[in-house]
Chain A
Amino acid sequence: MRQFHLALRMTVVVFLWLTFSFSSNAAEQQPVRFYAWGGSAEVNAYIEWASTELAAEHGIALEHVRVADISEAVTLLLAARPDEPVAIDLLWINGENFAALKQANRLLGELPRQVPNAVNLREDLNWQNDFGTPVDGYELPWGIAQLQLIVRSSRLETGQTILAPSQLLALAQQTPGRFSYPKPPSFHGTSWLKALAFQLLEQPEQLLEPAPQHAAEVLAPLWRYLDQLHPLLWRGGEEFPVTAARQRQLYNQGVVDNSVTFNPNEVAALQQQLKLAPDAVSVSLGSRALTNFHYLAVPVASQRQQAALQVIQFFLSAAAQQRKADPSGWGDPSVVRIDESQARLFPSHPEPHVSWNHALEQGWLARYQR
Chain B
Amino acid sequence: MRKKLAWTMAISLILVFLALPWLLALQGLSWNLPGLTAELWRYPGIGTAITTSLLCGVSATLLSTCLASLFISKSEGSRQLKGSGLSLTFAAPHLAFAIAFLWLLTPYGWIDRLIPWLTLGFEQQSLTTLITILVIKETPFLVVLGRQQLAQLPHQQWLLQAQILGASRTRGWWLVVFPAWLRQMRLLIIAVAIYSVAVVDIALVAGPLNPPLLGPLLMSWQQQFGVAEQNLAAQGLWLVLAAGVFMVAWVKLQEWSVKRLCRGLLRRAGGNHRWLPEGAISVSLQLLKWVLLAVTLLSGLALLAMSLGQGWFYPRLTPLEWQFAEAWQLALGSLPVVVMTLALALATAVMVTVILVTLREWQRLRGHEFADIWFIAALLIPQLGLVIAWLQAESLPVVSMHAEHAWLLTWYAHCWFAFAYSYLSYAPAERACSQMHLNLGRSLGYGYWKSWWYFKRPALRDALKHCLLVSFLVSLAQYVPTVLLGSGYIQTLTTELVALSSGAELRLPAIIASVLWVLAALAILMTARGAPASAPIRKLTGREE
Contact = CB atoms under 8 A, between A and B. Distances in A.
Interface of A: 1-4, 6-8, 10-11, 14-15, 17-18, 22, 26, 33, 35, 37-41, 63, 65-69, 71-76, 78-81, 84-88, 96-97, 99-100, 183, 185, 235, 238-246, 248-250, 252-255, 273-275, 277-278, 303, 358, 365-366, 368-370
Interface stretch (B205-213, B372-380, B426-434): B205-213
Interface stretch (B191-199, B269-277, B398-406, B513-521): B398-406
Given A79-B391, A183-B209, A239-B125, A245 B339 contact: no
Contact of B495 (A66, A75, A76, A85): A66
A370 B505 contact: no
Contacts of B495: 66
B45 interface: yes
A240 B45 CA distance: 14
Contacts of B443: none
Nearest to B28: A79
A17 B339 CA distance: 9
7 nearest CB pairs, A to B: A254-B314, A39-B503, A65-B488, A100-B225, A38-B499, A274-B311, A79-B391
Interface in B297-314: 310-314
Interface string B472-503: 00000000000110011101000110111111
B313 to A, nearest CB: 4
B44 A369 contact: yes
B457 interface: yes
A76 B210 contact: no
Kindly name the residue among A41, A88, A366 whose own CB sees the greatest number of chain B CB atoms within 10 A. Answer: A41
Contacts of A185: 220
B310 A67 contact: no
Interface stretch (B81-89, B237-245, B253-261, B346-354): B346-354
A185 B210 CA distance: 11
Interface of B: 43-45, 48, 103, 106-109, 123-126, 204, 208-212, 220, 222-226, 310-315, 319-321, 339-340, 342-343, 346-347, 349-350, 353, 388, 391-392, 394, 397-404, 406-407, 457, 461, 464-465, 468, 483-484, 487-489, 491, 495-496, 498-508, 526-527, 529-530
Kindly name the residue among A14, A88, A248 whose own CB sees the greatest number of chain B CB atoms within 10 A. Answer: A14
Contacts of B506: 249, 252, 275
A76 B399 contact: yes
A87 B225 contact: no
Nearest to B507: A41
B339 A248 contact: no
A240 B401 contact: no
B5 to A, nearest CB: 26
Given A11-B343, A81-B397, 14 more contacts: A7-B349, A15-B343, A38-B500, A67-B488, A69-B502, A75-B223, A78-B225, A88-B487, A100-B225, A239-B124, A239-B125, A248-B504, A252-B504, A255-B124
A75 B391 contact: yes
A76 B486 CA distance: 10
Contact of B339 (A14, A35, A73, A235): A14
A63 B490 CA distance: 12
B444 to A, nearest CB: 20
Given A15-B347, A38-B499, A84-B397, A239 B223 contact: no
A87 B488 contact: yes
Contacts of A248: 504
B314 A96 contact: no
A87 B489 contact: yes
A241 to B, nearest CB: 8
Nearest to B496: A66
A67 B488 CA distance: 8
Given A240-B209, A275-B504, A3 B527 contact: yes
B501 A39 contact: yes
Given A76-B484, A255-B124, A39 B223 contact: no
A66 B491 contact: yes
A14 B343 contact: yes
A328 B106 CA distance: 32
Contacts of A252: 312-314, 504, 506
Contact of B313 (A2, A8, A183, A278): A278
A66 B499 contact: yes
B140 to A, nearest CB: 21
A277 B506 CA distance: 13
A249 B504 contact: yes
A206 B107 CA distance: 43
Contact of A253 (B48, B108, B210): B108
A37 B353 CA distance: 36
B210 A238 contact: yes
Given A22-B403, A275-B504, A235 B468 contact: no
